[in-house]
Amino acid sequence: MTESLAVAFRVDASTLAGSGHVMRCLTLADALAEKGARCYFVMRQKPGSLESAVRSRGHHFLMLSSGGTEKSARRSESEPPHAGWLGVGWEADASDTLQALKGIELEWLVVDHYALDYRWESKVFVCCRRLMAIDDLADRRHQCDLLLDQNLGRKPDDYDGLVPGHAKQLIGSDYALLRPEFSRIRVMSLEARQTREPGNILVSMGGVDATNVTGDVLRVLDTIEAISAYRVTVVLGAACPHIDEVREQAESMRLDARVVVNANNMAELMSQADFAIGAAGGSAWERCCLGLPSLLVVMADNQRPGAEALKRAGASLSLGWPDAIEETLPRAISDVFAPGRLLEMSQNAAAICDGLGVRRVADALQEVSDE
């Protein structure tokens, strides 16, 4: 991808959407920038928009006005199920996006937003040569040249009738958008798990954790005698509204617990942990790359298929919804302490994702551009 080419990303971070969509787009943008592309992020003004993360990595940031209040439900049956996440109608968002990108000759526009579908994509297509859709749900039509769904268990025919016939599909965890740091320390992480004695737990419930599931997990962990000698590392995103509360809770725990906010060494923290308790979102693929067994909490409906697929693959155990943790977490910890269980789960996880997905996706963008 030559230096003259520009790529724009239409993506949001917010309380409802979390931060994962922006973070995976940043990973792809970094890879494209290494190939010489100029990357632009078009984002609607919301609390926790991650503007500083975009700018700190050298990308251009184009802010759309805040719009209305996010809602968890769609306004009508004709809209995508997550349409309320946008804060405005799709027509207004498309117009705002076109205005923000005016004068920029785009090779690619990448859209990663559950609230947007083929109607929005068709309207904005005039500003770009190619369009890529990133999806996890297969619940709406797309008008795109390239589709990415990085989820384990997803099949191309899940998108039958949802994408144009010419669209190239990148399906499955081979295309998971992980930062290079994960593939770099993968071998070291996997080798260390073969011999060391377990003693470290990682708790990471996503970048926002608006309802403080982290606090619920810590409360239950502190009652489990079998892990009384373990160290617990809690990772919170800078947008989490409960940082002070979790810090106070960690300080008062019987367990040795520390809180890390906005970690810049996530791969290292995961490699040091013997198992993780986490949300069943995009970070699940990071854990798989490093062979880190997971106890997964389902934080939203769209996380259920991924959690079930990882459980079937033997890489994780499911804790269900947050309100079930008090019952399911002690039972799951007893399970992972069975002889050989952690190593078995680690090997199963490592087989799912090698951490090189972002390279494959960047190459696919180049190939489609060259057609």
Please tell me which residue, 342 or 73, carries the higher pLDDT value.
342
- Alpha helix stretches (DSSP H) within the chain: 20-34, 51-56, 90-100, 118-124, 180-184, 186-192, 213-221, 243-251, 266-272, 283-289, 304-312, 325-336, 341-350, 357-370
What are the residue boundaries of the structural domains of the chain, listed by start? 6-178+355-370, 180-350
Q: Is 21 a catalytic residue?
A: yes
Which segments are annotated as binding site? 179, 286
Please tell me which residue, 16 or 370, carries the higher pLDDT value.
370
Q: List pLDDT tens digits, range 220-275.
A: 999 999 999 999 999 999 889 999 999 999 999 999 999 999 999 999 999 999 99
Residues 6, 130 contacting (CB under 8 angstroms):
no
Q: What dotted CATH number matches 6-178+355-370? A: 3.40.50.11190
Q: At what angle do helices 213-221 and 243-251 cross, to 10 degrees?
A: 10
Mean pLDDT computed over 345-354: 98
Q: List pLDDT tens digits, range 192-202.
A: 999 999 999 99
Query: Has residue 305 got a pLDDT over 70?
Result: yes
Instruction: Give Cβ neighbours of residue 73 (< 8 Å, ≥ 6 apart).
Output: 84
Query: Has residue 2 got a pLDDT over 70?
Result: no
Q: What dotted CATH number matches 180-350? A: 3.40.50.2000
pLDDT value of position 201: 99
Measured CA distances, 307 to 18, 22, 151, 278, 341 (Å): 17, 21, 10, 11, 18
Query: Has residue 99 got a pLDDT over 90?
Result: yes
Average pLDDT of the residues of the chain: 94
pLDDT value of position 371: 87
Nearest of 129, 66, 64 to residue 99 by alpha carbon: 64
Catalytically annotated residue among 21, 59, 82, 142? 21
Which segments are annotated as binding site for substrate? 179, 286
Query: Has residue 74 got a pLDDT over 60?
Result: no
pLDDT value of position 75: 58
- Cα separation, 9 vs 57, whole angstroms: 14
Q: List pLDDT tens digits, range 103-162.
A: 999 999 999 999 999 999 999 999 999 999 999 999 999 999 999 999 998 999 999 999
Mean pLDDT computed over 36-58: 90
Give percent above pLDDT 70 in the chain: 96
- Domains 6-178+355-370 and 180-350 fall in the same CATH topology: yes
